[in-house]
Amino acid sequence: MRTNENTLLEGHNVVLVPYNASHVPRYHEWMKSPELQQLTASEPLTLEQEYDMQKSWREDDDKCTFIILDKQQWADPSSREEQCMVGDVNIFLTDPSDPSLAELEIMIAEPSYRGKGIGKEVTNMMMSYGVNKLRVKKFEAKIGLNNEVSIAMFKKMHFQEVSVCPVFREVTLLLTVDDSVRTRLQDDTAHVKERDYRLTCSNRHELLSQ
């Protein structure tokens, strides 16, 4: 969608930036990994298909995506942005008759960044963006039954199991955004700053100097 095409979200350890064509080659490299294909239930795409996919995530009104960057690394203006990429996070408005229902997906593609709290940090940031900007009221996560880490993370974040599909070997977890979820999200993301992406790109060093 166009809503976040110039939005940067700054967290403690990460910045989330809109998915641009310049990110595609690294993303495409990640998705050659059989482990990531299996964990995210994705089919490998050609580079050209990956560019088309990026375009559709940018243009379609039902899809919102951010690339996750290592904040410390990105704040150094000499780093190329593609080198700072850690993963991605998406919201997909799956039901045209209910735009308040969103499927949430996250991938920390770089193994060395996993298990350090980044998945939780990014998921909170994306849920807060979804609730406040996109008016999401229910989040769904569909996860492979063998992806114990992801299932554990979403359960830790108060998602409840609602169904298991034996055919796709997938579990669906749901979180309804009530007052307690809103309060928790507000507390967990109180530090998050929303910035203008293009302006911040030319003043990256300022991120660490405040």
Q: For binding to ligand COA (CB under 6 A), which residues are involved? A: 36, 39-40, 87, 106-108, 114-120, 143, 147-150, 152-153, 156
Q: Which is nearer to ligand COA, 75 or 89 (CB)?
A: 89
% helix, strand, coil for the chain, step of 5: 40, 25, 30
Q: How far is the CB of 205 from ligand COA (least distance, A)?
A: 26
> Quick one: DSSP state of residue 201?
H
d(CA 138, CA 179): 13
Q: How far is the CB of 84 from ligand COA (least distance, A)?
A: 16
Cβ 162 to ligand COA, closest distance in Å?
A: 15
With CA atoms as reference, report the closest residue to 18 among 66, 63, 62.
Answer: 66
Q: How far is the CB of 196 from ligand COA (least distance, A)?
A: 27
Question: 104 vs 131, which CB is nearer to ligand COA?
Answer: 104
Three-class secondary structure assignment of 91-121: EECCCCCCCCEEEEEEEECCHHHCCCCHHHH
The nearer residue to ligand COA, 10 or 88, going by C-beta atoms, is 88
